[in-house]
Amino acid sequence: MQILKTVQEVRQFRATCSGNVGFVPTMGALHAGHAQLLKSSVSQNDHTIVSIFVNPTQFLAGEDLDRYPRTPEADIKICELCGVDAIFMPDANEIYSQIEPKILAPKELSSTLEGATRPGHFDGVCTVLTKFFNIINPTNAYFGKKDAQQLLIVQHMVKSLFMPINIVPVDIVRSSDGLALSSRNSYLNDDELAQALKLSRSLMKASNLIKANKLNSLEIKDAMSSCLEPLKVDYIAIADKSLKPIDSIELGNTIILIAVYVGNTRLIDNLWV
């Protein structure tokens, strides 16, 4: 496995690849959720390139850019075990200069939910991904459904900018007690970890209501709110795949999305119905 630091090294490596190239963009602090993306890519492509880059432009002022977990040695081991061919671990000044273009996420998809609380976040995501897609030129790129809004925005960007890349969604990986794996779970103490289980439980409650044919969004949201008490809820949304709120569940075209504060840590989770 190669560890690449510069754009030039990635281009040279890419030139040696024949067949399909899978790309998995990450911010590192890899866990079993990331590993699922890596394994999907390795099994579906001739070569897999992973990026590990804590992208400064997708953090807002005052967010956790500086204290975001960084575990490069453990990450390299996980990539190696998963059969990755190359890791791109650039410094920020390899990717960004003083004067920068910005790719704007479509506001119809990016101004709600995560984008309402984190304005500009998805512009940073689209900008860095456009750079990485241009450097790596992947056949397939892998994204977790855990970041549902990000996945929908990236699918839209690739389509509307005619980027010849296939976006592959990967299901959410959870711990045995239901908690969606996230690098930010490392911020939680034991008590907060127990409280964080309320997120997946509230989604499970929604799932059970839907199975019982209770499809009214308000009713489902009320039941979820009760499950989440006393945590501070940023949003509970029931939306279609263009992220428009819907009054009633449409099977196959609905995502239930939540963002909740556990202590000072903001966690997201979702359910694709």
Positions marked active-site: 34
- Confirm or reject binding of residue 203 to ligand AMP (CB under 6 A): no
Nearer to ligand AMP, 35 or 223 (CB): 35
Would you give the DSSP letter of residue 60?
P
Determine if 115 is a binding residue for ligand AMP (CB under 6 A).
no
Closest CB to ligand AMP among residues 84, 172: 172
Contact 114, 122 (CB under 8 A): yes
- E strands in the chain: 2-4, 21-26, 47-52, 86-88, 140-144, 166-170, 232-239, 255-262, 265-272
- Residue 182 binding ligand AMP, by CB under 6 A: yes
Question: Using the rule CB under 6 A, which residue among 112, 137, 183, 195 binds ligand AMP?
Answer: 183
Residue 235 CA to residue 112 CA, distance in Å, equals 10
Q: Measured between alpha carbons, how far is residue 164 from residues 76, 127, 183, 250 in Å?
A: 28, 17, 30, 31
Whose Cβ is closer to ligand AMP: residue 14's or residue 184's?
Answer: 184
Q: If binding is defined by CB under 6 A, does position 34 make contact with ligand AMP?
A: yes
User: How many chain residues are in contact with ligand AMP, going by CB under 6 A?
Assistant: 17
Cα–Cα dist 157/134, whole Å: 13
Cα–Cα distance, 30 to 47 (Å, whole number): 19
- As separate numbers, helices (DSSP H) first and strands (DSSP E) second, the chain gives 10, 9
Q: Return the structure tokens found at 203.
A: 């989604």
Q: Is 79 in the site for ligand AMP (CB under 6 A)?
A: no
127 binds ligand AMP (CB under 6 A): no
The binding track of 142-181 with respect to ligand AMP, each residue x by CB under 6 A or -, is -xx-xx----------------------x-xx------xx
Site string for ligand AMP, 4-33 (x = CB under 6 A): ----------------------xx-----x
Binding site for ligand AMP (CB under 6 A): 26-27, 33-34, 36-37, 143-144, 146-147, 170, 172-173, 180-183
